[in-house]
């Protein structure tokens, strides 16, 4: 993908895959704004997840709409936003709003990600919901602009792989 403007990237993957850390590092490397997709969740969604209940498509609709709106606002200047974007139809919704978006899937084993979730502090997503996220995860299709990046290295190594994927596309 060639850019007339700065890259517009959605860092996607299941909870605990490192979206926030890698997204922040990638935005620094690209010199574009970063925003945390979790901040777009309405309070009822956060409460539902905190209580250990998975979100359904209807729960995600207003969240995805807000992220799509942010992407539209960043279309000329570029940006990086985190969003699980687990299902193809969610990515299609975001890509319909911002056709030049690049999806960066942070890909790791359930065991690695479960260990990371267990070790982190202060996040609303309980480890028990990880299996529902992996069940919902639909890998990027060949016709989607994006790349899957392995997360088994350090955050800096993963961000370097992410930067290479975005800038070479």
Per-residue pLDDT, 127: 58
pLDDT-flagged residues of the chain (< 70): 1-5, 120-128
Q: Cβ distance 110 to 13 under 8 Å?
A: no
Check residue 44 and give its pLDDT.
87
What confidence score (pLDDT) does residue 3 get? 44
What is the model's pLDDT at position 115? 85
Return the closest-CA partner of residue 96 out of 63, 120, 127, 72.
Answer: 72
pTM value is 0.89
Quote the pLDDT of residue 45.
Answer: 84
């Amino acid at each position: 993908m060639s850019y007339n403007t700065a890259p517009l990237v959605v860092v996607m993957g299941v909870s605990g895959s490192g979206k926030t850390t890698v997204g922040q590092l990638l935005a620094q490397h690209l010199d574009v704004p970063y925003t945390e997709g979790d901040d777009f969740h309405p309070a009822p969604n956060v409460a539902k997840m905190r209580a250990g209940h998975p979100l359904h498509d209807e729960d995600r609709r207003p969240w995805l709409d807000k992220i799509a709106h942010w992407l539209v606002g960043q279309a000329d200047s570029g940006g990086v936003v985190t969003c699980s974007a687990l299902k193809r139809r969610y990515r299609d919704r975001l890509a319909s709003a911002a056709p030049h978006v690049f999806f960066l899937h942070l890909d790791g084993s359930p065991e690695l990600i479960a260990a990371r979730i267990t070790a982190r502090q202060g996040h609303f997503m309980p480890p028990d919901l990880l299996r529902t996220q992996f069940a919902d995860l639909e890998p990027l299709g060949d016709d989607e602009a994006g790349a899957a990046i392995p997360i088994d290295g350090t955050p800096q190594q993963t961000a370097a792989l992410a930067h290479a994927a975005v800038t070479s596309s």
